[in-house]
Amino acid sequence: MALSFSRTAVSITQQYFPSKNPTTKSTFLNLLSYKPHNFSKLSTISKPNSFSLTNTKLSKNPKPKSHFQPVRSLFTGIVEEMGTVQSLGDTKDGGFDLKIVAKTVLEGVHLGDSIAVNGTCLTVTDFTNEGFTVGLSPETLRKTSLIELKTGSLVNLERAVQPVSRMGGHFVQGHVDGTGVIIEKKPEGDSLWIKVKVDKGLLKYIVPKGFIAVDGTSLTVVDVMEEEECFNFMLVAYTQQKVVIPLKEVSQKVNLEVDILGKYVERLLSSGFVDSFKGSS
């Protein structure tokens, strides 16, 4: 990026800071004695001239990079790969670990990174060249379907997005809102219809043609059946080969995360935020 300096601006600097090597004291005194200048004579944008700098040299002694890894917990719902559960169960210190064999999500992984496992944002506590380990809290086990996993189970995996990542799906936080139960699987051509029964408290946030994350997969809702307390979606042939949903049987649970925009709107309406504008008009 080029930086341009006008000759007028340079002359002003020399006028008010005449010392070749100004000290803090002299600079402060010059500022106190400063008289307003007629800036109407100055051009807001000056063309590049002999004072233009087109290249910035890097410091020979750059500051060391910080080893602190910021929390990254935003996903797109585009599954990167299916991993295989190697083991899960209680640890010696009273925790609950889940070990997963994977490949793609291990690229560039660090301790403390976030990886979505069937749509649940979890923190990497250990990793090798062949897999990684995450810890599960009691709340996670209660809220999600991960408790149903067993050795050999396949799981959807996605790393948290980076600033340069493409947003191929929708904003997924990895905060599972609840679970649904698959009540019907029906093929149509090479596609597959899936119907899921869900609690009323969660169904109100699900709308036809809206986004929903099912086991961490960004999907589009087709229909919402209020009386049946169900919604459905369709998986095309390609998606069926890349995610775990088609492998699940009727009566099995899936993790659900609704579009957060609906919850924000509900919160604003219930807080009286909209009514406050009506009263001021």
Structural domains of the chain sorted by starting position, each given as residue range(s) with its CATH number in brackets: 81-265 (2.40.30.20)
- Distance between CA atoms of residues 134 and 127, nearest Å: 9
Q: What is the pLDDT of residues 6-35, one digit of tens each?
A: 444 444 444 444 444 544 444 434 444 444
The CA-atom distances, in angstroms, between 83 and each of 137, 157, 243 are 20, 7, 10
DSSP structure class, residue 144: S
pLDDT for 166 equals 63
Q: Is the pLDDT of residue 57 over 60?
A: no
- Angle of CA points 49, 54, 59, to nearest 5°: 135
Backbone φ and ψ for 257, nearest 5 degrees, come out as -130, 115
- Show the tokens assigned to 201: 């408290």
- pTM (two decimals): 0.68
Count the neighbouring beta carbons within 10 Å of the beta carbon of residue 74: 17
CA 191 to chain centre: 29
Distance CA 221, CA 210 (A): 5
pLDDT bracket for residue 74 (50, 70, 90): confident
Question: Residues 189-206: what's their mean pLDDT?
Answer: 96
- Residue-wise pLDDT tens digits, 261-278: 888 888 888 887 666 666
Q: Which of 87, 85, 113 is nearest to 101 (CA)?
A: 85
CB < 8 Å & 24+ apart, contacts of 11-15: 12/37
- pLDDT tier at 149 (50, 70, 90 boundaries)? very high
pLDDT score at 68: 35
